Structure 1
Amino acid sequence: MRASIRQGYEGVAVAVPVTVPYSRHSEHPVQWWIGQALRKLCEESGISKDQIDGLSLSSFTLAPDGPAAMTQHLGLSPRWVDGIAMGGASSLVGLRRAARAVQAGDATIVACIGADINKPGAFRDLVTSFSRFSQDAAYPYAGAGPNGSFAMLTNHYMRQFGATAGDFGKLAVSQRLNAGSNPIALLKDPLTIDDYLRSRLIADPLRLFDCVMPCSGAEAYLVMHSVTAEALGIDYAVLLSAIERHNAFPKDEIQTRGGWQVDSQELWDMAGVSHTDIDVVQTYDDYPVISMIQFEDLGFCAKGEGPEFVRNHTFTTNGSFPHNTSGGQLSTGQAGAAGGHLGTVELLRQILHKPLGEQTKECATGLVSGFGMINYDRGLCTAAAILTRSES
């Protein structure tokens, strides 16, 4: 067996969480949203864009431009550029790579940005050409798009582990309560469990409030060395650990577990903390079932115990298990690849005690996880990270 030699993330600082407020549709191109995110990063950090020498960019709607072309649009001259095309896992994969670039000295300050736009018909165009699988094996048979895929995954999970619609509804209702204090959440009207259960079926067993609303927006943050952050007077969080895994458990006929399960012990061992040290959790939540799977695979409960875990906890900002405290994608909206950055940005805000909405009490350490690139029977990309507030 090959020995595993894994360097930790000592000295890596994550800072300056920013959001360009979402809108249902956009009259601006995605380049505008990326530029607004960069402007906010500079304004809130007090640095000039000339000091940013690394760019990590994730977007489904950037074509025909790529990350290198964006450097000209933005007037940047970085020495390190990365494009992360992994959907909801992009933020955390980008965070890992940016952290390694900072540790190696390949970049001093990296801007990590996720942005996408939504125009009438754009989401349909995206899902029909999302992958070769979508083009050849799903769309021709009227199966393109995530609703059908996650209906199958949700139905299978319910039959195998006894989850009920009420269990998924509890997560959706909790996130809507969290969104109530978030000024930029698109969906803030009160939602009760009865509202959830009475909502129309979209793709059985998925109901209306199981599904995210596509929108336009951008999320971003900076990665640098802690020495750099302190020299610039920037408040920051420390990256304790991070993992990623792709195409885990390929022999599973239908996904009920993800790559988090393979690497979660490394995540906890590298961080040097336990589950009880976590003050807030941000999971990728395009549908409630995937949040439940993340609770299990990250070790907050055993496989198949997700439904009981949900029944035994409250998930509001100051509940017994604070979760998706911005409202998550289910209530804030899903701005394409920016949706994968939403949890990272919200975790930073909570740790730094700079939330847009309600602050989780005594929040110092948190976990964020990502999930992306869905083929019909599974998602291929998984990632997670643990961050804590700097004591300096």
Structure 2
Amino acid sequence: MSDPRPQARLRLQLYPRAESAVRKGHPWVFGDSIRSQNREGEAGEMAVMYDRKDRFMALGFYDPDSPIRVRIVHCGKPATIDRAWWLSRALAAKGRRDEVFNEATNGARCINGESDGFPGLVADRYADTLVVKVYTAAWLQRWDEIESILREVFAPKFLVLRMNRHLLETSEFEEGFRGPEGAEVVVFLENGIRFESAVRHGQKTGFFLDQRDNRARVEKLAKGREVLNVFSFSGGFSLYAARGGAKSVADLDISAHALESAVQNFKLNAEDARIAAVPHETLQADAFKWMDESERKFDLIIVDPPSLAKRARDQAGALSAYRHLNARAISMLRPGGILVAASCSAHVPAAEFLGMIRELAEQSGRRREELWTTGHASDHQASFPEAEYLKAICVKFD
């Protein structure tokens, strides 16, 4: 006969360094930071953390299968984590983005995980479709409640649930539309430019929304320039450059599917005479090999590769790859040319990346002017170091 008594609440005590980090607001507790616990925890349950004097410290989602053993939900005084709690956090996240969404932009991030108080969950809006991606089983256990809150706050016509690979392999939940079935490819607006987002099967949630502000900066630089967009994906930077008056734009990517998406995005904007007037070239090739072998010159080159450092131990290799790509890009710039170099690798710190680009600029022997450096867009705010992955720098060379 099974024991009808409920399990005792999962109680954890942390080592001093982890305890201090949690009190300072860090949202993760790693497995080797837990000094003791009263029992084995189950994936997704709420764990309570106490300090060395057995005083309440924090609450968080427990995951025995992840190096991030606990994702902090609340730290401070005891609190009741219920629907009203999550509703207030969702409303706060929406309020922080009031200036992002407007008549010209209906695609942007609505909830950015831990930085918005929803550890292990992101939500991106594409027109009338909200795509929610979860990285911990805790959200699946609370899905009905969380879905009702997301619908109440963001009022999407369609809602898509997506999961990371681990959950896809271990959960009985299925990805896809929750409720009415919408289009698997959605057209949305970003600063007045139309883009496709493959909300059901595309990378991330269907599009790379985090470079919106940098794309707008490229538009202001592009007038009269021949532009090369390296690792172009679906042509985002190229469309902005075309609208900004570029002489020509070339998308370089190894993926035929990505280049087809770029062509489709240009077609979606054919009614904009500024974009339609600009020749658009697609180059399907390995970017490293093509840049090493090409003798072409450009006036503006954007180098925005995918993450080159998935783990901390990949940092040295990633910096070497960034160095190679950007050194070659600088050599391909005509006098007066501009380099926009970006990194989305969290394991490559901004100081390391920006310092490397500045070093390359100096080694080129050319006079140069640093025009700007940037981090995260406002809808992708980062509240702790590990969340700070995006950085970019713009340098003009004589």
TM-score tier by shorter-chain length is under 0.3
- Report the TM-score when normalising by structure 1: 0.24
Please identify the structure whose Cα radius of gyration is greater.
2
Whose relative contact order is higher, 1 or 2, with alpha carbons under 8 Å and at least 6 apart?
Answer: 1
More helix by percentage: 1
TM (normalized to structure 2)? Answer: 0.23
